[in-house]
Amino acid sequence: MGQLLDGQLLADLRTGKLKESVNKLKAGGIIPCFCVINIGNDPSSQIYLKTKKRKADEIGIVQKVYQLPENETQADLLALIDRLNADQKVDGIMIQLPAPKQINLNQALERIDPEKDVDCLTPSNVGRLWRGDHFVEPATAHGILALLDHYQLNLQGQNVVIIGRSSIVGKPLAALMLERDATVSILHAKTQNLAAYTKRADILVSAAGQAGMITAKLVKKDAIVIDVGINRQNGKTVGDVDFDAVRQKAKYLTPVPGGIGPLTVESLMEQVVNLTRRKNGR
Ligand code: NDP
Pocket test for ligand 1, best of 55, 118, 163, 253 (most atoms within 8 A of CB): 163
Q: Is 214 helix (H, G, I), strand (E, B) or coil?
A: strand
Give 131-168 pLDDT, tens digit per residue. 999 999 999 999 999 999 999 999 999 999 999 999 99
CB atoms near residue 176 (< 10 Å): 21
List 117's β-bridge partners, or say none: 93
222 is catalytic: no
Residues 97 and 211 in one domain: no
In a domain, 10, yes or no: no
**What's residue 118's pLDDT?**
98
CA dihedral sign of residues 272, 274, 275, 276 = positive
96 is catalytic: yes
Residue nearest to ligand 1 atom 32, measured at CA: 209
What's the CA gap between 12 and 34, in Å, rounded?
20
In a domain, 62, yes or no: yes
Residue-by-residue pLDDT tens, the chain, 282 positions: 999 999 999 999 999 999 999 999 999 999 999 999 999 999 999 999 999 999 999 999 999 999 999 999 999 999 999 999 999 999 999 999 999 999 999 999 999 999 999 999 999 999 999 999 999 999 999 999 999 999 999 999 999 999 999 999 999 999 999 999 999 999 999 999 999 999 999 999 999 999 999 999 999 999 999 999 999 999 999 999 999 999 999 999 999 999 999 999 999 999 999 999 999 999
**What's residue 275's pLDDT?**
98
**What's residue 51's pLDDT?**
97
**What's residue 102's pLDDT?**
98
Task: Evaluate whether 272 touches 63 at the Cβ level (below 8 Å).
Answer: no
Task: Evaluate whether 263 touches 79 at the Cβ level (below 8 Å).
Answer: no
Residues 105 and 36 in one domain: yes
In a domain, 161, yes or no: yes
169 CA closest ligand 1 atom index? 25
Distances (CA, A) of 180 to 108, 161, 216: 31, 14, 27
- pTM of structure: 0.98
Residues 239 and 177 in one domain: yes
Q: Give residue ranges with CB within 6 A of ligand 1.
A: 140, 163-166, 168-170, 187-191, 194, 207-210, 213, 228-231, 260-261, 264
Residues 107 and 192 in one domain: no
Pocket test for ligand 1, best of 165, 197, 231, 266 (most atoms within 8 A of CB): 165
In b/e form, how buried is each residue of 236-265, taking b as 16+ CB within 10 angstroms? eebbbbbbeebbebbebbbbbebbbbbbbb
Q: What is the 3-state secondary structure (H, E, C) of 57-108?
A: HHHCCEEEEEEECCCCCHHHHHHHHHHHHHCCCCCEEEECCCCCCCCCHHHH
Give 197-215 pLDDT, tens digit per residue. 999 999 999 999 999 999 9
Distance 209 CA to ligand 1 centre (A): 5
Domain of residue 216, residue span: 139-261
Provide the residue type at 77 as one letter: L
Pocket test for ligand 1, best of 44, 52, 120, 166 (most atoms within 8 A of CB): 166
Residues 110 and 145 in one domain: no
Distance 253 CA to ligand 1 centre (A): 18
152 is catalytic: no
CATH of the domain at 80: 3.40.50.10860
- The domain tally of the chain equals 2
> Which burial class, exposed, middle or buried, applies to 187 when counting CB atoms under 10 A from its CB (0-12, 13-18, 19+)?
buried
**What's residue 8's pLDDT?**
98
Distance 163 CA to ligand 1 centre (A): 8
Residues 108 and 144 in one domain: no
In a domain, 228, yes or no: yes
Give the closest residue to 180 by CA, choosing from 210, 122, 137, 231. Answer: 137
| Residue 158 region by backbone torsions, left for phi larger than 0, else alpha for psi between -120 and 50, else beta | beta
What's the CA gap between 140 and 158, in Å, rounded?
20
Distances (CA, A) of 101 to 39, 48, 221, 231: 11, 20, 43, 23
Q: One of 52, 55, 220, 249 is an active-site residue; which one?
A: 52
**What's residue 19's pLDDT?**
98
In a domain, 45, yes or no: yes
